[in-house]
Amino acid sequence: MSHAPVDEKAVGAGPSDAGAGESASPGAGAALLEVQDLRVHFPVRRGLLQRQVGAVRAVDGVSFTVPRGATLGLVGESGCGKSTTGRAILRLVEPTSGRVRLDGVELTTLGARALRRERRQMQMIFQDPYASLNPRMTVLDIIAEPLRTHGLVRSREQTATEVAKLMEMVGLAPAYMRRYPHEFSGGQRQRVGIARAIALRPKLVVADEPVSALDVSIQAQILNLLEDLQRELGLTYLFVAHDLAAVRHLSTEIAVMYLGRVVERSETEALFAQPLHPYTQALLSAIPVPDPTVERQRRRLVLMGEVPSPLAPPAGCHFHTRCPHRMEQCSTEVPEFTERTPGRWVACHLQAPPPMPEAEA
């Protein structure tokens, strides 16, 4: 049976529609998620015998912690390894080495059965809400799938009741639970994805670019929904994005990645006030300022060239081929990831923060 396209207003306003190196980490004692020296290397094979000729170092020694109930924004250009980091934490890709602990449970060594059990505690929200939903399943079946897999619903009535509750929590009208993904707008489909992700009441949610495929007008609604759900359910988020502006609102702390390594980590507002790494500075300078006069006078830091291939990353500081402040040692010595001031970690040979670009006269 076909239905008329779902009207965004009829579906109902949701709670928010109105609108590189190893390190000990701050807050590690209260951490829900602890990632230590995580590496994901994908072998590159060639020839008839498929001999390994190298490895793509997608994630190359990443460490961080996320306190319970907090949000860590993981940011960097496409190909920097941020999504692979998120997937490796959930073991959707296998880590090459390193440790991941969720609420004290070591995930990297779990066998298949134990991992399936532990998956209840960690879920993912995907970038493309359409591609991540099975077009042949109704919204009821999509949201109910994890509940059924883990044996948490026993009858059709109970399933429908649970799905209705979840739909209400994400601002969707339960009356539409028997419809299919194509009958919903992009924002509504992402709400379905979020309902599925919270169905098992996980402790950790990895949100992989959850708003970047959506219209700008819808993005704020989804971000507000994620914030409301975090408050209500005590969720901890790892929020992966390519854009610093997208993570600012939700993130307690931000980690900036470049070519498989974290180059800076800091409490969010401190990072925006004074970035310590030249790459963070360049990312920040790419964010437009709402005031047109300020925007016109602003001088941007434009990075030259593309991100080098993770198959053959530059020696020393990976960023030295594009860094406007590079020095001799940068091309040979890997900068240590050190805590400069409490809570502010950076991997750079510069002893002082790089000067911000001057405004144009």
Which residues contribute to the site for ligand SF4 (CB under 6 A)? 277-278, 317, 319-320, 323, 325-327, 330, 335, 348-350
> Can you say how many angstroms the Cα of residue 24 is from the centroid of all Cα atoms in its chain?
21
- Closest separation in Å from C-beta 354 to ligand SF4: 7
CB of 283 to ligand SF4, least distance (A): 13
What's the rounded Cα separation, in Å, for the pair 179 and 163? 13
Compare residues 194 and 317 and give the one whose CB is closer to ligand SF4.
Answer: 317
**Please, which residue, 265 or 349, has the CB nearer to ligand SF4?**
349
Q: If DSSP codes are grouped into helix, strand and coil, which group holds residue 73?
A: strand
Helix, strand, coil shares of the chain, percent, nearest 5, are 35, 25, 45
Picking from 138, 128, 144, the residue whose alpha carbon sits closest to that of residue 196 is 144
Tokens linked to 145? 């799938």
Tell me the C-alpha to C-alpha distance, in Å, between residue 7 and each of 129, 132, 184, 187.
18, 22, 8, 12
Instruction: Compute the least distance from the CB of residue 258 to ligand SF4, in Å.
Output: 9
Task: Report, in Å, the least distance between residue 341 CB and ligand SF4.
Answer: 17
Strand partners, 60: 39
Q: Residue 144 or residue 317: which is nearer to ligand SF4 going by CB? A: 317
Q: Which amino acid is at 62?
A: V
- Please report, in angstroms and rounded to a whole number, the separation of the first and last CA atoms in the chain: 64
Contact between residue 204 and residue 121 where contact means Cβ atoms under 8 Å apart: yes
* Cβ nearer to ligand SF4, comparing 119 with 277: 277
How many DSSP H helices and E strands does the chain contain?
11, 12
Residue (344 or 349) nearer to ligand SF4, CB: 349
Q: Please state the closest distance from residue 332 (CB atom) to ligand SF4, in A.
A: 11
- Least distance CB 347 / ligand SF4 (angstroms): 7
State which H helix or E strand residue 192 sits in.
Answer: helix 186-198
Question: Whole-number minimum distance, CB 277 to ligand SF4, in Å?
Answer: 6
Cβ closer to ligand SF4: 33 or 330? 330
CA dist 80 and 75 (Å) reads: 9
Nearer to ligand SF4, 14 or 335 (CB): 335
